[in-house]
Amino acid sequence: MPGGGGTPDLAMGGGGDAAPPANCGGGGAEITAVPPCANAGMATTVDVPRGCAPTVDGTLHASEWSDGACFVAGNGGGALTIRMKYAGDALYLAASGDPTCGCGMPFHFDPDGGMTLEGDEFLVILADDPFGADGDRSDFVAQNGKFTMGSAPAGIVTAGPPNMPAPVRSEWKIPLADLGITPGQAHTFRFAVNHAGQTWPATLQLAQSSNFSSTPATWGQVLSSTSWK
Ligand SMILES: [Ca+2]
Ligand SMILES: [Ca+2]
């Protein structure tokens, strides 16, 4: 693990709560795709910055998403661009790409950042041709070493334009607690996404005969070098 030095913080004051996050400035035109990455390499680790708190209403604005870490799943048809950041007690992400398959886009989360499916992992799957404003979301949870339909941890919100938008796009709010994160403490969780075989990370191993991965060891790692505060 990075950092350290072994000196515990003097965590007495303040009760641990940071000031309320600044909301992203409103205004500006709607954008139909996530702001493109200046440099989206082949990294498998993302250092998530603190940013402004977006409004998770399914309408993207440059003022909401330009300050997020940027990475891409694949290239060419089906590729997704993703922005990710945190503010206050939540992680925020936005994703966009071209609909290609009338299929699901599984977003994979492993709060404890482990190597195998030991039970805390979950999938939130959005359709790439959604009719509903929640992206036609369905959830799966890991149970007995495989994913089965269930409920992801409470408080996760997904929002996007309904009625088969192109590009297909979504905004997300995920409570940090759902990812095992305590603000002020270092924590790395695992994340992966797949859309029609376009994946982040590029080395994601998909389960045979399915479009998701049951191998957290091949998922990417997401951390905050400022310890989520
Ligand atoms: Ca918004
Ligand atoms: Ca795990």
CA of 131 to the centre of ligand 1 (A): 18
Contact 82, 35 (CB under 8 A): no
Dist. CA 7–CA 187, nearest whole Å: 17
**CA–centroid distance for 201 within its chain:** 12
CA of 59 to the centre of ligand 1 (A): 4
Q: Residue 132, exposed/middle/buried by CB under 10 A (0-12, 13-18, 19+)?
A: middle
CA of 135 to the centre of ligand 1 (A): 14
Domains defined along the chain, listed by start? 46-223 (2.60.40.1190)
Q: Indicate the residue type of 2.
A: P
Looking at every residue in the chain, the average pLDDT score rounds to 91
CA 100, 101, 102, 105 torsion: positive or negative?
A: negative
Model pLDDT, residue 40: 77
CA of 160 to the centre of ligand 1 (A): 9
Q: How confident is the model at residue 4 (pLDDT cuts 50, 70, 90)?
A: very low
Residue 15 has pLDDT above 70, yes or no: no
CA of 132 to the centre of ligand 2 (A): 30
Contact 56, 170 (CB under 8 A): no
Dist. CA 34–CA 36, nearest whole Å: 6
Model pLDDT, residue 17: 54
For 95-130, what is each residue's pLDDT tens digit? 999 999 999 999 999 999 999 999 999 999 999 999
CA of 175 to the centre of ligand 1 (A): 17
For 174-200, what is each residue's pLDDT tens digit? 999 999 999 999 999 999 999 999 999
What is residue 50's DSSP assignment? B
Residue 148: φ, ψ to 5°: -140, 155
Residue 204 has pLDDT above 50, yes or no: yes
Model pLDDT, residue 10: 43
Which ligand ends up closest to the CA of 53?
1
CA of 204 to the centre of ligand 1 (A): 29
Strands 220-223 and 45-47: what pairing? parallel
Ion ligand 1 residue ranges (Cβ < 5 Å): 55, 57, 59
- Residue whose pair of structure tokens reads 């950041």 in the numeric block: 85
Which helix (H) or strand (E) segment holds residue 193: the answer is strand 189-195
CA of 20 to the centre of ligand 2 (A): 30
pTM of the shown model? 0.91
Model pLDDT, residue 1: 40
CA of 227 to the centre of ligand 1 (A): 25
